Amino acid sequence: MKILFVHLGREHLGLEYLSAMLKQAGHSTALACDIGLFGINDNIIINKRLERLFDRSNSVLRKVAEYEPDIVCLSAYTTTLQWCFRIAEAVKEMKHDTRTLLGGTHVTLSPESALGSAAIDYAVRGEAELIIVELANRLAAGESVEDMPGVVCRSADGIKINALPPHPRDLDSLPLPDKQLFERVINIRDDYMTLTTRGCIFNCTYCCEHSVRRLYPPGEYRRVRSVGSLVGELETMYSRYEFREVYFACPLFPPDKKWVAEFAAEYRAKIDKPFYCFSHVNLFDLEYAQLMKEAGCRNIEFGVQTMNEDIRRNRLGRPETNEKIVETLSICERVGLRFDVDAIFQLPGEREEDFRVAIDTFSSFKMLHRIKVFNLALFPGTDLLEHSLTEGRIDENDRMEIMAGGGGDFFHSRQLESGVPLRKQRAYENILRILPLFPGLFSGRPAGGFMLRLMSLLPHPAVRFLEFINLARLRDLRLSFYIRLYARNLFARTPGRLRRDSGTRPGK
């Protein structure tokens, strides 16, 4: 059976694992992908005119026509749900008997919205590695899948939502992710993506991770790979791609020092490439930082979000104190470990003083690599969404729009109101973005001065340019990754045309 994965966005590890499972069982897989240049999934350059110019929807559909799949599998985030619906509707117009399946985090947390288009035959909740082969086999044989765990389907009584499927308890038992799937979309040599864990132990109210974890029995969702499995994958894949760096795309690098010590020894001896990952300030101490530095960690990202402790604790569900944040960043400074900091804007109750504290705090760190600025976004299943409804910050219509794939996103739109005027928010966003390049320029300056007015007028392209200058100054390998990514998709093929790909079969 021929299965085509359809995706809006960049590399997707979940699809690679599903493709590997299907290939093991003798099925053929391929990918039709629009990486979403300049659109809502592009966190580098946002431009609606360029987004329309380089839209790849037609090339995705051309791939469907060329490959003639039996099943089209679409993966939806909340922000891409409506795009998935449009593609599925076009697929059905081309060939009505092509089966369409929809999966992804949005389906897991808002399954009732997954069949919002008649063009979606079935949706699948949860992690699908252990059911995807049976699902494909049943569809190939013309058998019903409506009793399968994880399946969302239509019935005489409306939408039938089955229980979650079993999830892989032992991550080491999974096959290696099928990197061939994305070979024609990204240059894997620039940046090898993998994971150490699935799940997160924290309860951030704005994040989908805690919402998904609550769907499973206590203690089951958080899983960690063995060091041997992880390093074995990297050895195998390095022989194929000779990658320059590794990106651990999991919400939290393992906090267990024994695991990290074993990893540091094995990784340095057998891989010895820089890597970057995510951590939490409450899990960090000097010994842990030294182990990470010894292993080859080039950069580590912390979700600070705001320097207002009350908002961070009571609205965002993050218990760390400002004192602990400064302590952790100081440890990174001491061992020479570069770090990123995340900051969320449009937080109800935030004050201008909070931005000043952030600027003064972060200006003192020489190892600060980048401050990543995000809009507050509300997503299905999160506590923050329900709290916002209870507090009257959104109404039921807003909530239903979000559940159906509408609402906002991290980079383009604003869903909740902040107490700080928009002009000043823009100024502080710009300051934080370029602060690593000019660490002493903004600290200690009074609010409302000439510098603040000037920064509010700085155009977005100029801010991005200064951010790129900083990354070039630090010789950040991610900068070359993004440059190659854009070049590959802007110049390697004409707009609207996807490179021809006949898919891959088992053993090839």
Cβ-contact 178, 193 below 8 angstroms: no
Q: How far out from the chain centre does Cα 142 lie?
A: 35
Q: DSSP code of 315?
A: T
Looking at the structure, tell me whether residues 160 and 295 fall in a common domain.
no
pLDDT at 485: 79
Q: Is residue 462 part of a domain?
A: no
Task: Output the domain CATH number for residue 247.
Answer: 3.20.20.70
Strand partners, 343: 305, 373
Both 198 and 157 in a single domain? Answer: no
236 shares a domain with 112: no
pLDDT per position as a tens digit, 8-63 = 988 999 999 999 999 999 999 999 998 877 777 776 677 677 777 777 788 899 99
- Whether residues 106 and 255 share a domain: the answer is no
Q: Are residues 202 and 85 in the same domain?
A: no
At 460, is the secondary structure helix, strand, or coil? helix
Residue carrying structure tokens 């320029």 = 441
Amino acid at 158: G
| pLDDT for the residue numbered 479 | 80
Tokens of 243: 């990658």
User: Does residue 353 fall inside a structural domain?
Assistant: yes
**Cβ atoms of residues 260 and 291 within 8 Å:** yes
What are the pLDDT digits (tens) for 231-286?
Answer: 999 999 999 999 999 999 999 999 999 999 999 999 999 999 999 999 999 999 99
Strands 151-155 and 158-161: antiparallel
- Please state, in angstroms and rounded to a whole number, the distance separating the CA atoms of residues 283 and 385: 27
Is the same domain home to 358 and 406? yes
Q: What is the residue-wise DSSP string for 89-149?
A: HHHHHH-TT-EEEEESHHHHH-GGGTT-STT--EEE-S--TTTHHHHHHHHHTT---TTST
Q: End of a domain among 384, 405, 440? A: 440
Confidence (pLDDT) at 152: 97
- Residue 460 has a pLDDT of 86
Asked if residue 477 belongs to a domain, the reply is no
- Give the Å distances, CA to CA, from 107 to 56, 115, 379, 402: 24, 9, 12, 13
205 shares its domain with 157: no
Q: What pLDDT, on a 0 to 100 scale, did the predictor assign at position 15?
A: 98
Dist CA 98 CA 114 (whole Å): 18
Question: Residue 48: phi, psi to the nearest 5?
Answer: -65, -35
Q: Do 86 and 117 lie in a common domain?
A: yes
Please indicate, yes or no, whether the overall pTM of this predicted structure exceeds 0.85: yes
Q: For the chain, which ranges sit under pLDDT 70?
A: 43-44, 47, 411-414, 445-448, 491-508
Helix 257-270 vs helix 227-241: crossing angle, to nearest 10: 30
Q: What is the CA radius of gyration of the chain?
A: 23
- Whether 463 maps to a domain, the answer reads no
pLDDT score, position 169: 95
Are residues 203 and 114 both part of a single domain?
no
In a domain, 489, yes or no: no
| 464 in a structural domain | no
CATH number at residue 137: 3.40.50.280
What pLDDT score does 183 carry?
A: 92
How are strands ordered across the β-sheet holding 71-75?
Answer: 28-34, 2-8, 71-75, 99-103, 122-124, 151-155, 158-161
Number of domains in the chain: 2
160 and 210 both lie in a single domain: no
What pLDDT score does 54 carry?
74
For residues 259 and 311, membership in a common domain is answered with yes
The Cα-based distances of 478 to 293, 432, 468 in angstroms read 19, 19, 10
Residue 504 gets which letter from DSSP?
Answer: B
Q: Residue 63: give the domain boundaries.
A: 2-169
Residue with tokens 């090339």: 59
Same domain, 158 and 76: yes
Residue 456 domain flag: no
Q: What per-residue confidence (pLDDT) applies to 506?
A: 33
Q: How far is CA 188 from the centre of its chain?
A: 17
Final residue belonging to a domain, choices 385, 405, 440: 440
